[in-house]
A and B are shown apart, each in its own frame.
Chain A
Amino acid sequence: MLIFTILLDGIAYGMVLFIISVGLTVTMGLMRVVNLAHGAFAMLGGYLASVMIRHYGIPYVPAAFLAAIACGALGGVAELTIYRPLYRKGELAQVLLTFGLIFISIAAMTLIFGPRPIDESMPKWLEGLVDVGFRTYPTYRLFLIGVGAALALALWFIIERSLFGARLRAAVDDPGMARAVGINVNLLFTLTFVGGCALAGFGGAIGAGILPIDPFYALRYLVLFLVVVVIGGLGSFRGSLAAALAVGIIETAGKYLVPQLGSFLLWIIVFGLLLWRPNGLLPAKTAS
């Protein structure tokens, strides 16, 4: 029975990581931009949803969707104005600028919302426990698993089955060739960036029960998001799903079975995985 508990906890946690990180994986693979500020969009989503729920009485799920739309829109503006000039710059410039964006986001959120974590805004129907056969289990975590699975399915369809997805994959594989055959890669970049930021915002909003929202969010969880990207493989949607679930399950199992090791277990496994597959579990094919 313990194994099922570990799986449920690990998958719920992994799903939050997946929803937030998948956008980062795809945009990093596609544009080769090290966007360390990705978590700031998740944080913003959490703040916006909370404000809508508590001050405007908008229900939980619509608030999360509205927050996602707002984050996507802001992401689009940021892509056109801040990120685009970065594509041609080196990685160091990208790291510096996007890290600076994190600090700006921290200062802005502290100024607007104060330095403490924001008030919780979980709806009543997500509180409490559900009987899952072998035990009772928190409704909220089942909700996360369900939403994560639905999003993964939708993303799978968009990326692997739609024309947009085919163009996207082509552009990830070989941007030069994609341009040559008439794909508007710039537009593709912007759309993908918007989608990635919207997902991050959505993940930040619904994941707030596990990753509480405070101004340091983008910095505190940055390493987790990057681990998912690196283990999954740049540009790989399936890789990021596998990596997020693996991180969630491994960390959870470690805490249940060998709590003395602390977080050490996760990092040693990450280390081993990267020795074994330096490009990640399921890397996207690239021409370069």
Chain B
Amino acid sequence: MRRILAAVVGAAMLAGTTLASAEVVKVGIIAEFSGPFAVWGTQFRQAIEAFQKVNGKTIDGHEVQFVYRDVGGADPAKSRALAEELILRERVKFIGGFALTPNALAVAEIITEAKIPTVIFNAATSIITRKSPYYVRTSMTVQQYIDPLPTWAATEGKMKSAYVLVSDYAPGHDAEEIFINNFEKAGGKIVGKARIPLNVTDFAPYIERAGGSGAEAVYIFMPAGAPSISIIREFAKRGLKDKGIKLLAGGEVQEVFLPAIGDDVVGTISSMHYTETNTYPENIALRKTLMEMFGANAVPDIGSVGAWDGTKLIYDAIKAHGPRITGDQFVAFAKGRKWDSPRGPIMIDAQERDIVQQVYLRRVEKRDGKLVNIDFFKSGMVRDPWKIANPNAK
């Protein structure tokens, strides 16, 4: 009897050791899965699942497990609480996600204290990565993806004057600043501007004024969704488009939003770090996998590539350092790292831990009955202009 017991215990111990060598690495994802920003959470999750389908759920036998937490909307307190829970209870090695800046900033203290590397999949305010040495960003900053647009418009685009319409909130002010600076630097003239309160629903007066200002181009920046759809429709419906005035934009005209705007949007020129129709092999793989997994209407967007690349960075780091990788090892691994993203070549800045990437200028066209963005200009690698202009801001 005793011998049998000993054998059982021995076998159990052996099994225990083999189990211990195959570890589980947990990655906590804090994102907006419900509420007005639920689009982001869905994009993150689908991209992560697509990445795991292509690259497997294990790395050298170690399982990578994603633990999803819903922060709802802009809710810093909840974001912080979720980060605490993920670190203390779930024992995650990494945190990822964050569509909104306040949610991303809220975890700075905790991740610094716990040395948990945190990969920002979307939130685009420049300052974020300076708030903790454990932040790494795989998305973009607002000023980064706008940077080449005004310069191009004033030079090769031959637009001599522009009217600037931005939503009256922090990212809108950032956008206004870089557009006006770069446009004037390139020889263009700003003939007027307005900041539109976030709760405005009828944009007719703003478009009317912009149309009457004599500007050759109208630049808009606002949260993509109902407001941006309204203002672009108004631009066409008021005849500004027919008058030959150019509409310049950014994330407002990502492919996912185009059907909601309708054919009015054709001809809109925008700048972004990711164009859905680009032919990089990684992008074709991403699109194909998303369509296979989530149906023909699954269109990748900036949230998808942010999450895809964040997941890739985490995977590559685990591959290099094993499942017991520390926070500091991860950050050191990420700094200066280059790889091919679905958006094109990207790099993590060695000092700022922020993304460096190309920016694409595109025009909305109708191809095979579908509204899509088509690239016509590609910038060099762009660093976040705000960080260059404010080297010491914390």
Which of the segments B58-66, B135-143, B232-240, B350-358 contacts the partner chain? Answer: B232-240
Please tell me if B201 contacts chain A, counting CB pairs below 8 Å. yes
Q: How far is the CB of B370 from chain A (nearest CB, A)?
A: 12
> Contacting A122 at CB < 8 Å: which of B34, B242, B262?
B262
Whether B256 sits at the interface, judged by CB under 8 Å, is: yes
How far does the alpha carbon of A87 sit from the alpha carbon of B391 in the complex, in Å? 62
Residues of the A chain whose Cβ atoms lie less than 8 Å from the Cβ of B199: 223, 263
Known interface pairs A117-B225, A117-B229, A138-B238; A224-B208 also in contact (CB < 8 Å): no
Contact, CB under 8 Å: B257 / A116 = yes
- Residue ID in chain B nearest A213 by CB atoms: B226
- CB–CB B230/A119 < 8 A: no
Enumerate chain A residues within 8 angstroms of B261, measured Cβ to Cβ: 120
Residues of B within 8 A of A277 (CB): none
By the criterion CB–CB under 8 Å, are A212 and B230 in contact? yes
Closest to B192 in A: A259
B278 at the interface (CB under 8 A from A): no
- Please give, as numbers and ranges, the residues of chain B lying within 8 Å of A263 by CB-CB distance: 197, 199-200
Q: Are A119 and B238 in contact (CB under 8 A)?
A: no
The docked-state distance in angstroms from the alpha carbon of A129 to that of B262 is 17
Inter-subunit contact A212/B229 (CB<8 Å): yes
Q: Interface stretch among A69-77, A173-181, A193-201, A250-258? A: A250-258
Q: Is the C-beta of B202 less than 8 angstroms from some C-beta in chain A?
A: yes
User: Which residues of chain A have C-beta atoms less than 8 A from B168's C-beta?
Assistant: 262
> Bound complex: CA of A118 vs CA of B237, how far in Å?
18
Q: Which residues of B contact A212 (CB under 8 A)?
A: 226, 229-230, 260
Cβ of B260 and Cβ of A224 under 8 Å apart?
no
Q: Decide if B197 touches A262 in the complex (CB within 8 Å).
A: yes
B260 touches A119 (CB 8 A): yes
A256 to B203, CA, bound (A): 10
Query: Chain B's nearest CB lies how many Å from the CB of A118?
Result: 6
Q: Please tell me if B36 contacts chain A, counting CB pairs below 8 Å.
A: yes
Q: What's the nearest-Cβ distance from chain B to residue A162, in Å?
A: 33
Q: In the docked arrangement, what's the CA distance between A78 and B156, Å?
A: 59
Complex Cα distance, B201 from A220, in Å, reads 9
Residues of A within 8 A of B36 (CB): 115, 216
Nearest chain B residue, comparing its CB with the CB of A126: B237
Smallest CB gap from A129: residue in B: B239
Measured between C-beta atoms, what is the minimum distance from A110 to chain B in Å?
6
Within 8 A of B (CB), among A3-48: 5-6, 9, 12-13
Bound Cα distance A220, B261 (Å): 19
- Which residue of the partner chain A has the closest CB to B262? A120
Q: Give the residue name and chain of the B residue nearest to A224 (CB).
A: B201
Determine how close the nearest CB of chain A comes to the CB of B156; give it in whole angstroms.
31
- Given A115-B39, A252-B202, residue A220 in contact with residue B260 (CB < 8 A): no
Q: Does A210 contact B (CB under 8 A)?
A: yes
Q: Which of A5, A107, A255 has the most CB of B within 10 A?
A: A255
Residue of B nearest to A13 (CB): B202
B24 lies within 8 A of chain A by Cβ: no
Task: For residue B328, give the distance in angstroms from its CB to the closest CB of chain A.
Answer: 38
Min distance, Cβ B174 to any Cβ of chain A, angstroms: 18
* Distance between A89 CB and nearest chain B CB, rounded to angstroms: 28
Contact status A255-B42, CB under 8 Å = no
Within 8 Å by CB of A259, from B38, B209, B225, B260, lies B209
- A149 touches B (CB below 8 Å): no
- Shortest Cβ distance from B230 into A: residue: A212
- Taken together as a complex, chains A and B put the C-alpha atoms of A248 and B229 apart, in Å, by 20
Whether a CB of chain A sits under 8 angstroms from the CB of B206 is: yes
For window 144-161 of B, CB contacts with A under 8 Å fall at none
CA distance A242 to B344 in the complex (A): 56
User: Chain A contacts of B262 at CB under 8 A?
Assistant: 119-120, 122
Nearest CB of chain B from residue A142's CB, rounded to whole Å: 11
| Chain A residue at smallest Cβ distance from B39 | A115
Residues of A within 8 A of B202 (CB): 9, 13, 210, 248, 251-252
- Min CB gap B209→A, angstroms: 7
Are the C-beta atoms of A117 and B39 separated by less than 8 Å? no
In angstroms, Cα B233 to Cα A120, docked, is 9
Contact for B201 among A107, A210, A216, CB less than 8 A? A210
Q: Mark B66-80, 1 if CB is under 8 A from A, else 0.
A: 000000000000000
Partner of B237, one of A13, A117, A140, A252: A140
Alpha-carbon separation in the docked complex, A117 to B225 (Å): 6
B226 touches A220 (CB 8 A): yes
Residues of B with C-beta under 8 A to A288: none
9 tightest A-B CB contacts, nearest first: A255-B205, A120-B262, A262-B197, A119-B259, A212-B226, A117-B260, A9-B204, A115-B38, A138-B237
22 contacts between A and B (CB under 8 A): A5-B208, A9-B205, A12-B204, A115-B38, A116-B256, A117-B226, A117-B257, A118-B260, A120-B260, A122-B262, A136-B239, A138-B238, A209-B233, A210-B201, A212-B260, A214-B225, A214-B226, A220-B201, A224-B201, A256-B208, A262-B200, A263-B200
